[in-house]
Structure 1
Amino acid sequence: MPICRFIAILLACGYFSGSAFADSPAQTNDTNREIPLAAVAATRLMEQGDSKQAKAVLLEAREHFADNDDIAFLLGMLAMDEQEFESASAYFREILIRDPQAVRVRLELGRALFESGDYRDAGRQFRFARSGNLPTEVNANIDRYLAAIHHLQTFNWDVSVALAPDTNINAAPSIEEISIFGLPFQLSEDAKRQTGIGILLNTSAEWTPHIAENTRLRLGGSLYRTDYRGGGFDDTFVNVHVGPKFQFGDLELSTLLTGFHRWYGNEPYNHGTGLRQEVTYYPSSRTRLHTSLEHQWVRHDDVSSLDGTRTSWLGSWQYALTPSSGVMGVLGLSKESTELDMLSNTVYRGGVGYYRELFGGLTALIQPEYLRARYDDVTPAFGVERRDNLWRTRLRLTNRRWVFKGFTPELTLIRSSRRSNIDLYSYDRNQVQLGVSKLY
């Protein structure tokens, strides 16, 4: 009787307990749980070098145990041996959807992604796996993979597209009347809060070829656009940068020329050029520290009184807590100087974030953030120096179970509330973004 047929008959009798698969890489929480007989038989066939028959056994077994981690893991390992890295990645992702804490599976997913050339996602998987309780030699191997990724990765890109309902697309106040020079004025319809549903596109890319030992050229840019019916509140922002990056072990230094152009309501709004210095440091395989200092010369197309300079500093950190979760933080300070002191301002920024892969393929990211703006001089129409406080919270949910051509569904909810000592600048805003983004 062929072994596939024999296994199929035995499968009809269900599972059995045993220790033959107690060290299964897919098994992370219960080393005594029951293992399908097909997985044990396939393991023995693989040990004997009969991969073809082992695959046949596992594929037939999946018809009865479609959600079994051991069967999926062995099929992934067979796909690795056959250099079918995309198929292997699919099997390993399937297991992680059911068990995000499966460290060995995350390691194999990282290896499959590395072999397929998806270095960015591979690095992410390795860094999360590094936070697990692993032997010293395994950690050393992860570090070697991360070093190789650091050397080989020369192109990054991101893209997301979403339908974007918005309760306040023009960030306008809810009030009907405002006092200017002590006199009451009614807000025009254009100045009042507008709601709408837009289309959002957010994409970026960077090419970093080697130009010398420990030196690369960074050439990149980004495009952000929201498109609303009528076009009056459409917003487009294009940013580019170029310059060298120097690598010294775990330390990276970049000096970049930057440029940007913004269109609002499909009309030119402002543009500028600048210089940016970036420093990135990896104190450990689980930690990334980044800081940037940029100075820009800004010109406005219609309102020359807004022309001037903008200097900004931003610091951020990321840390992998566990194989399925991480934390991050950001601090920032920017100083904008314009031709009018009442429009010049200083903005302070701080925020934190928490990321976690949940069961069922759901990934959650929550990011609360606070911004405080202080203007340099009195606004004559209101008789005070403007003071703004903005609270913003972002909740992003991604479903890793549904993947098509490397893209996955994503839902983002953003709540913004700004309070100003000048009522005209206070507002509340709720945004929803439902679309797809590149999976990492």
Structure 2
Amino acid sequence: MRARSIFALVLAGAALGAGVPARADDSTLSVPEARQIEARFSEALRAIDAGQYRAAIDLLDGILADHPDLVRVRLELARALFLTGEDDLRATFQFERVLAGDLPETVRVNVERFIAAIRQRRVWSLNAAVAIVPDSNINSGPTSREVIIEGLPPLELKESVTEKSAVGVQASLGGTYRFTLSDKIRLQVGGSVFEKAFEDSRFDDTIVQWSAGPRYLFDRGDVGASLVGYYRWYGNDPYTLALGGRLDGNYLLTDRLRLDAAAQLRRLDYVTANENDGTAFDTDATLRFAVTPAVLTFATVLFTATDAELKTQSYESRGVTLGTYVDLPAGISVGLSARYAQTDYHGVNPLFREKRRDEDWQESLLLLHREFKLLGATPTFRYTRIDHTSSIDVYEYPRDLFEIGLTRQF
């Protein structure tokens, strides 16, 4: 964005919160508490005016830690994040949440201008995470040690394919960079690395992904087409190579409602299991609704279809996820989600003489502390429960997965 355009936004920011109260109504705050908030808020505004944006962010984060419903405070936090020029992802997230508040029309228009300015100027993004991962079933194996095949005595399964618990470490690093081709068009390249390691290296998992393609920017969203690929190692051995194309985009449908959608088609090549080679089509769409600036809800629908050389490995899967994310006092944020998916395999399984149908129930709890940082990263705790059922018993399994770690976005 041109320098004078950013300067105009900075000037607009001085009046950004006009008409938006800095504190909640008197029924929710005592007089001493309200005065303390107003004093800290005024100090934050002075810090912004003095160009001390990080100091202002710390003050505003501190207020929102205990009072996440204060729209004006969240508004100024978003503006301070914007002015640093280093936290565009978080600034956009906060501006979009502010739109769920009861804003005067002039303020709403200014907020949308800030969001559009971020979309225009954003060049790069980076995210990193590391976690300890206690896992009750690292190989998604059945609890039974035997398998029953009609007409045969019970067969004992190998230890490597049955349920195995362990504690591992996982880390991920990903990012994108955008080259400006015109005012509305960018060339975006991206990549990521994911690594999960256990004491038993047979279950180590490494995935390297890349993408490259043009994106078109709207005032309220963007859409892109890209070439994509990934390479996966499992147990430190080459496992899968995938190449294909992807379409994806996002759009702010209303002040409260955002749509994210994607579709991709890839060719899958398995290094050792050639019968699994084939094509895979995936598509998903998510609607995110801001009930209030402190409460978000979302719903995701997804569909996957694979066409493998071995028909019993081909399948279609349909699923839905519902969830919510809430900022609570004391700096705690809670996320809850539930997912259901049904997968139908093609062809009759020759061993069990029936078509396979799997169902997957998954519930997840996320906890994080918004104010506490460790080396700039946010501590997070996630618990996921998976109950995987199947028309063929040997494919059924339960799983309890914990992730205790740190995450940071730039």
Q: Same fold (TM over 0.5)?
A: yes
1:103 counterpart residue number: 71
1:391 counterpart residue number: 361
- Cα distance in 2, alignment partners of residues 385 and 248 from structure 1: 46
Tell me, which stretches of 5 or more residues in structure 2 are unaligned? 1-18
SS in 1 for 2:356: strand
SS in 1 for 2:137: coil
1:135 counterpart residue number: 104
CA shift for structure 1 position 250: 3.1
- Contact 1:406-1:439 at 8 Å conserved across structures: no
- Cα distance in 1, alignment partners of residues 367 and 382 from structure 2: 6
- Contact 2:127-2:409 at 8 Å conserved across structures: no
SS in 2 for 1:115: helix
CA shift for structure 1 position 439: 6.1
SS in 2 for 1:311: strand
Q: 2:49 matched to 1:81? A: yes
The 5-angstrom pairing of residues 367-406 of structure 1 reads: 367-406=337-376
The 5-angstrom pairing of residues 8-19 of structure 1 reads: none
- The verdict on how the C-alpha distance between 1:221 and 1:24 changes in structure 2, with shifts beyond 3 A counting, is closer
* Counterpart among 23, 40, 47 of residue 27 in structure 1: 23
- Contact 2:171-2:196 at 8 Å conserved across structures: yes
1:294 counterpart residue number: 264
CA shift for structure 1 position 25: 4.9
- Listed one character per residue, the Cα deviations across residues 49-96 of structure 1 (whole Å, up to 9, x for unaligned) are xxxxxxxxxxxxxxxxxxx32232122112112101011000000000
TM-score (norm 2): 0.91
Q: Percent identity?
A: 30
CA shift for structure 1 position 363: 0.4
Q: 2:182 matched to 1:212? A: yes
- The verdict on how the C-alpha distance between 1:141 and 1:248 changes in structure 2, with shifts beyond 3 A counting, is closer
2:4 counterpart residue number: none
* Counterpart among 177, 199, 202 of residue 169 in structure 2: 199
- Contact 1:300-1:306 at 8 Å conserved across structures: yes
The aligned amino acid for 2:246 is R
The 5-angstrom pairing of residues 283-362 of structure 1 reads: 283-362=253-332
- Cα distance in 2, alignment partners of residues 24 and 119 from structure 1: 23
2:141 counterpart residue number: 172
CA shift for structure 1 position 283: 1.5
- Contact 2:20-2:104 at 8 Å conserved across structures: no
1:125 counterpart residue number: 94
Tell me, which stretches of 5 or more residues in structure 1 are unaligned? 1-22, 40-67
- The verdict on how the C-alpha distance between 1:112 and 1:248 changes in structure 2, with shifts beyond 3 A counting, is closer
- Cα distance in 1, alignment partners of residues 165 and 391 from structure 2: 24
* Counterpart among 240, 247, 257 of residue 277 in structure 1: 247
- The verdict on how the C-alpha distance between 1:285 and 1:154 changes in structure 2, with shifts beyond 3 A counting, is farther
- Listed one character per residue, the Cα deviations across residues 21-60 of structure 1 (whole Å, up to 9, x for unaligned) are xx995421317842489x7xxxxxxxxxxxxxxxxxxxxx
- Cα distance in 1, alignment partners of residues 228 and 409 from structure 2: 28
1:430 counterpart residue number: 400
- Contact 1:305-1:339 at 8 Å conserved across structures: yes
- Contact 1:260-1:271 at 8 Å conserved across structures: yes
The 5-angstrom pairing of residues 203-282 of structure 1 reads: 203-282=173-252
CA shift for structure 1 position 145: 1.0
CA shift for structure 1 position 424: 1.3
Q: 2:159 matched to 1:162? A: no
CA shift for structure 1 position 188: 1.9
- Cα distance in 2, alignment partners of residues 35 and 193 from structure 1: 57
CA shift for structure 1 position 104: 0.6
Structure 1 window deviating more from structure 2 (204-213 vs 232-241): it is: 204-213
Structure with the larger RCO, 1 or 2 (CA within 8 Å, 6+ apart): 2
- Cα distance in 1, alignment partners of residues 201 and 331 from structure 2: 37
- Contact 1:79-1:88 at 8 Å conserved across structures: yes
Bigger Cα Rg: 1
- Cα distance in 2, alignment partners of residues 434 and 69 from structure 1: 33
> RMSD between aligned alpha carbons?
1.9
2:117 counterpart residue number: 148
- Listed one character per residue, the Cα deviations across residues 296-338 of structure 1 (whole Å, up to 9, x for unaligned) are 0110010110111111111112121101111111111111111
- Contact 2:128-2:409 at 8 Å conserved across structures: no
- Contact 1:26-1:95 at 8 Å conserved across structures: no
CA shift for structure 1 position 112: 0.4
Structure 1 window deviating more from structure 2 (371-380 vs 73-82): it is: 73-82
- Contact 2:20-2:72 at 8 Å conserved across structures: no
The aligned amino acid for 2:51 is Q
- Cα distance in 2, alignment partners of residues 154 and 317 from structure 1: 26
- The verdict on how the C-alpha distance between 1:333 and 1:36 changes in structure 2, with shifts beyond 3 A counting, is closer
CA shift for structure 1 position 251: 4.8
2:9 counterpart residue number: none
- Cα distance in 2, alignment partners of residues 405 and 151 from structure 1: 29
- Listed one character per residue, the Cα deviations across residues 394-421 of structure 1 (whole Å, up to 9, x for unaligned) are 1110011311333111000000010001
SS in 2 for 1:284: coil
Q: Count how many residue pairs are aligned between Structure 1 and Structure 2.
A: 389
- Contact 1:201-1:225 at 8 Å conserved across structures: yes
- Cα distance in 1, alignment partners of residues 170 and 377 from structure 2: 16
